[in-house]
Amino acid sequence: MPPTPLVHWALVGCVVLLVVLAITGAVFVTRAVLRQRRRPRPPDHHRKPDLDEGSHHDH
């Protein structure tokens, strides 16, 4: 029996794993970005008044 099928399945398995990891990473990053956009958290508590003034100007 030639080892070609084994190599073929090994390559297919590696490609599938890479695709699954890529999709999972993309979904994870997308969810993180969406969460940050939905709930923006100020990095510094000292800049709260600045953000409040900006929100008042926006409205």
What are the tens digits of pLDDT across the range 8-27? 999 999 999 999 999 999 99
Q: Is 34 a member of any domain?
A: yes
DSSP string, the chain: --SHHHHHHHHHHHHHHHHHHHHHHHHHHHHHHHHHHHS---S-GGGHHHHHHHHHHH-
| Contact yes or no for 26/35 (Cβ under 8 A) | no
Q: Is 2 inside any structural domain?
A: no
Assess contact for 48 and 42: CB atoms under 8 A: yes
Question: For residue 51, is pLDDT > 80?
Answer: no
Total domains present in the chain: 1
> What domain range includes position 32?
17-58
On whether the pTM is more than 0.85, the answer is no
The CA-to-CA distance between both ends of the chain, in Å, stands at 74
Q: Given pLDDT bands bounded at 50, 70 and 90, which one contains residue 5?
A: confident
Q: Is residue 9 part of a domain?
A: no
Asked if the structure places residue 10 within a domain, the reply is no
